[in-house]
Amino acid sequence: MVIGIDLVHAAVWRFDIQRKSGAGRAADFSEVSVVADLGELAVDLLGGTVAALENGFEGDALKDLGLVLVPAPGVDGAVFTPGECEALDRYVQEGGAVLILGDGEWPQPPQGPAPFGFASGDLAIGDPADPAQPHVRPYQFPAEVTGAHPALEGVTRAYLYRPKPVSARFPLTGLVEKDGQIFLGVARHGAGRVAVVGNAEMFARPFLGREDNARLLLNLLSWLLDGRHQRSAADLAAEVTGSYRFSGRDFSPTENLKNEPGPHVVDAGVYAHLFTGLADGFLRDSETDEEAFLREAELRFHEMPRVVRQAVSRFRQHGTDSGVLLVKGLPVDPALPPTPADPKARVRFASPLSELWLAAFAQALGEPIGYRQEKNGLLFQNVVPTPHNAAKLSSESSSILLDYHTETAFHPFMPDYVLLHCLRPDHDGAAKTISASLRMALPRLSLRERAILSEPLYRTGIDYSFGSSHGTKGNGPLLRVLYGDPFDPYLTVDPDLMMGIVPEADAALKRLHAVLHEVRRWVCLDTGDLLIVDNRRAVHGRSEFTPRYDGRDRWLQRVCVVRDLVPSAGHRRLRGRIIDTAFAV
C-alpha cells in the first residue's frame, strides 16, 4: 500500500521530507505537520509506504496509490489546475481514496478550482467555557458524535481545535457536526472514497490523545483504505494514544550545559573590559532609589556587546530548546563580602556589580519583582545555605535534592523568568543547578499523557517560604500542568507539592517527572555566571552539597522577572514591585 502526499499545493501544512537509508521508516518527517504525522502513522502502523507527489497529479502520478493526502491550499500555496482536479476526480471514481486536510486559518479568497469543489467556512466557536467570562467563547471544545458510519465505530466524542465547516460539490455524510455544520465529512464517489476535514489540527499531536480523536482518525483511514491493512482501528488507536512515539529532533546526550554548544550559552568573559567599563560612572543606590537604579541598569544593558544583547533578545522571543540561557563570566565585585549567614539581610557591596547585571538583564526580559513572603520582599534575593533549613524544601537547603519545580507554581503572579547569578560557588564545586525543558520532554510523553496534563486536574501546594510550614500537597489552586499554545505549551509543575485529583492525572504527573529527569541538563555555576531560567518552559532544581558555614559558602543572587506588571497591580502597594498576595495555608 502506497500513500501519496501532495507537496505542491500546501500552504499551511508545509513540511520537509528527508530520505532515510536502510530498513524501517521510509521517511523522517518534521515535527510540526499534521500531514507528516499521518504519513508516519501510515508507514509505521498501517504497513504502507509514502510517495512524495512533488509535481502535481497529472500523468501517472496517482497510479498505484492507495490513498492521497491533499493539504488544502491557501493564499501562499500553488493553485490547483483544472487538469489536476480532473485527475484526482478520475482517480477516485476508479477506486482511489483522497483525504483533504484543511487548516485553521481564517478563510481566504478562492484561489482557482479546488478538488471535488472543496470549500471551508468561518471558524466555529464553542459555548462559553469559563462562567466568570460568559462573553468569551472558545475555539477548541469537545463535540458529541453520533451516527452509524463505520468511521464512527467506538467513537462518542471528538475534540475540535479551530474547527471550520466544509462542503463539496456532492453531498457529504457528516462524521463530526455541530449546529448543522459539517466539520468532518465523507462521501463515496464512483468506486472510490473521499473525506474532507475543515481543520486537520484536530488530528495533530496535541489533540490526538483527547476524547476519541485517535480512534476517529484510525477508523477514517481504515474506511478510506477499505480495510487494506491488518490491524484493527481500536488496537491502533490504543497504541497511538498510549505508547506510540512520533519521530522528532534528536537532542545531544550531553548533560553539562557548558559542554553543549548552542544559543543557550553566551560568553561575556571575552568582553570583560567592556563590562567593567559599564560599571563605571555614577549609579543610584539600589536600596534607597530603586527605580532610578533599575532605569539606569536598563540603559546600560543597551551598551553591552551586541552578541550578548542578541542572545537575550532571541531568548525572550523564542526561548531555547534547553529552556535556559547561560551568560558566562560577568565581572564580580573584587572586594566581595562574606557569604551572608542570614539570607534575608540586605548586603552592602563596595561595587554593586551583581545587582547591576541582575537589574540590566531583568529589565531586558521584562520587569523585576519580589514577593512579600520571600526574604522580606527583597528584590535582589540572596540564595545561601542555612543550617536550620538544610533539609527543608527551600532554596536554603543543602543536604537534600531540591527537585525540579516551577518557581512559585502556586502563585497567581508567578515569575516568567528566574535569574540566578553566582557570586561564589560551593567549596567543593559539587552543587549542580539542574534544569529540564518541556520542549525536550514533550516528545517522550504519550499522547494520552499529554492530553491529561492539559486538563485542570491538578492541585499544587503552597511553598514553605510562603507560609505552608508542613509543605502540604494540594493545598493550592486547581490548574493545568500544560497550558498555552498546544503546539508549544508552557508548564507549571512542582512534584514535591503537586498532585493529580484523579489517578490517571497523578500517573501522568509522575511520568512527566520521569521524562524531565531523562532530558535534564546541569551546570556547576562559577563566579560571574548568570543562569536565566524560562520559568514557563523549564523546571529547575539543585543537587545536594556540603556547606561549611564559614562565610565562604555558595552564594547566588536571585531576581524574579515578569513580562508584564499590570496583572499584579492590585497586589502591589503604591506602584511598587513587591507582590503581597496572602494565602490560606
3-state SS, 321-348, equals: CCCEEEEECCCCCCCCCCCCCCCCCCCC
Angstrom distance (rounded) from CA 464 to CA 247? 41
Angstrom distance (rounded) from CA 382 to CA 343? 5
Phi/psi at 154 (nearest 5 deg)? 75, 10
- Report the candidate in 66, 64, 62, 23 with the shortest Cα–Cα distance to residue 46: 66
Angstrom distance (rounded) from CA 77 to CA 9? 5
Angstrom distance (rounded) from CA 541 to CA 300? 30
Note the pLDDT of residue 288: 85
Note the pLDDT of residue 470: 59
Angstrom distance (rounded) from CA 301 to CA 294? 11
Reported residue count of the chain is: 585
What number of CA atoms fall less than 13 Å from residue 54's CA on the CB side?
A: 6
- CA angle 503/505/508 to nearest 5° reads 110
Angstrom distance (rounded) from CA 445 to CA 512? 7
Note the pLDDT of residue 283: 85
Q: Over the stretch 236-255, which tens digit does the pLDDT of each residue have?
A: 999 999 998 887 777 777 88
Angstrom distance (rounded) from CA 228 to CA 46? 8
Q: What's the alpha-carbon Rg for the chain, to the nearest Å?
A: 28
Give the orientation angle of helix 353-365 with respect to helix 290-301, to 10 degrees.
70
CA distances from 518 to 254, 293, 408, 440, 443 (A): 11, 41, 23, 9, 12
Q: Is residue 150 a contact partner of residue 230, using CB atoms and an 8 Å limit?
A: no
Which DSSP category does 81 fall into? Answer: P
Q: Over the stretch 59-110, which tens digit does the pLDDT of each residue have?
A: 888 999 999 999 876 555 678 889 999 999 999 999 999 999 988 775 555 5
Alpha helices in 525-575 (DSSP H): none
**Position 155: which residue type?**
V
Which DSSP category does 572 fall into? Answer: B
Angstrom distance (rounded) from CA 53 to CA 67? 12
Residues of the chain short of pLDDT 70, as ranges, are 10-33, 73-77, 106-111, 229-230, 468-472, 585
CA distances from 461 to 466, 513, 519 (A): 10, 16, 25
Q: What spatial distance separates the first Cα and last Cα of the chain, rounded to whole Å?
A: 61
pTM higher than 0.85 for the full model? yes
CA distances from 336 to 297, 343, 525 (A): 20, 16, 17
Percent helix, strand and coil across the chain, each to the nearest 5: 25, 20, 50
- CA angle 250/254/255 to nearest 5° reads 115
Give the orientation angle of helix 213-224 with respect to helix 233-242, to 10 degrees.
140
Q: Is residue 532 a contact partner of residue 540, using CB atoms and an 8 Å limit?
A: no
Q: Give all strands (DSSP E) within 14-161, no chain letters.
A: 17-19, 27-29, 49-53, 67-71, 97-101, 119-120, 140-144, 157-161
Q: In what order do the strands lie in the sheet with 478-479?
A: 478-479, 458-459, 499-500
